[in-house]
Amino acid sequence: MVLRFPHLSQTILAIGLACTLAGGAPAQQAEHPADNSGKLSEAEIGPRGQHMPRNITYSPWRKLCFEDTLGKTVCRTTTSGSWDTGQTAVRIDLIERKGDNATRMQIFLPVGLYLQAGVRVTVDEEAAVHIPYSWCLTNTCVAGNLLAPRLVRAMESGRKLTLEVVDSNLLTVPTSIALDQFAAAHKGPPAQTYEIPNDDE
């Protein structure tokens, strides 16, 4: 099913401008995709310990696609985790454009974390990769980077995806997301396709 959203393109542009104004210039993106080398950026610090997060419940993985009038399609395979209050705690998107071989991971997290540490991402027992923060708004921060194809394959065959962030007290906060539904969602047809019309419509 295709849903049409008039004026959505203007809204997306406004959000992009807000991101720039709220956080200053976006952080420079890594030139190379994250891989399984285990080499983290020089910004990595040694946390003082570990703090277990509040209970987070994750939604099933879903693929959502966005198609414009020129036939260009961008899909994201996504899951979001919520606290028992219903407030979103984390969201993970794997973003891919039709015709490209690149996959980008974006991770939405609450504000108040130690940004220089970035996000440490691990699939099962694979070597960890480092995802740096890109920008923040008043209520969320986003980490993002390209992923090496082997990490995407590891997610398709893996059992769990673990994220580790560092809070303002320099304590590591881990959370794990099940991957048993990821491959079916990632390889399968989109659960929903959204059509973005021209501004002239």
The model's pLDDT over 34-64, given as tens digits with 9 standing for 90+, comes to 654 444 444 445 556 665 667 899 999 999 9
Give residue 79's pLDDT: 98
Listed in sequence order, the DSSP H helices in the chain are 8-23, 149-157, 182-187
pLDDT > 70? residue 13: no
Nearby residues of 191 by Cβ (< 8 Å), 6 or more positions away? 62, 63, 64, 185
The ranges assigned to domains in the chain are 2-28+38-196
Let me know: does 62 contact 77? Beta carbons within 8 Å. yes
pLDDT > 60? residue 201: no
Using CA atoms, how far apart are residues 129 and 147, in angstroms rounded to an integer? 9
What is the third-level CATH fold of 2-28+38-196? Immunoglobulin-like (2.60.40)
Give residue 5's pLDDT: 40
The model's pLDDT over 79-112, given as tens digits with 9 standing for 90+, comes to 999 998 989 999 999 999 988 889 999 999 999 9
**Helix/strand/coil for 18:** helix
Weakest mean pLDDT among 61-70, 102-111, 137-146, 185-194:
61-70
